[in-house]
Amino acid sequence: MILFYLKKTGEIFATIDGRVHNEKALTCYINNGSGEVGKYIIGWIEKDNKKMEYNLDKFKILQRFEDNTPFSPLDCKIIDGQIILPEEPKT
């Protein structure tokens, strides 16, 4: 998954789903005009037919995003390169 967030606030506002990201997906970006949009990747990067691990220590979080629950990456923030989780969602 690729998460796009505002560097100033850490707010995640867009995602590209998936676990393996090819070069085409990696070139995607969002520009809000401020130059302050960051990109955070969880999963694998595929380049030259090779897969490289990327932030796999966050893989359990990725699995929670994919579960059929109200837990969403848009409820999280990214501060100093770390995903900050909200309180557990209420069901």
Is 91 within a domain?
Answer: no
pLDDT grade for 49, boundaries at 50, 70 and 90: confident
* Token code pair at residue 58: 């966050």
Report the alpha-carbon distance of residue 54 to residue 42 in Å, rounded.
Answer: 6
Residue 12 confidence (pLDDT): 92
Is 61 within a domain?
Answer: yes
> How many domains are there within the chain?
1
Is 89 within a domain?
Answer: no
Domain that holds residue 68: 2-84
Is 66 within a domain?
Answer: yes
Residue holding tokens 């557990």? 88
Return the sign of the alpha-carbon dihedral for residues 1, 31, 29, 37: negative
Is 33 within a domain?
Answer: yes
Is 90 within a domain?
Answer: no
What average pLDDT does the chain have? 85
User: Does 10 score more than 90 pLDDT?
Assistant: yes
Residue 68: which residues within 8 A CB-CB, separation 6 or more?
none
Report the alpha-carbon distance of residue 20 to residue 32 in Å, rounded.
Answer: 26
Is 35 within a domain?
Answer: yes
From 70, 25, 30, 69, select the one nearest 43 (Cα to Cα): 25
Residue holding tokens 């955070």? 40
Q: Which of 1-5, 27-31, 50-54 has the lowest mean pLDDT?
A: 27-31
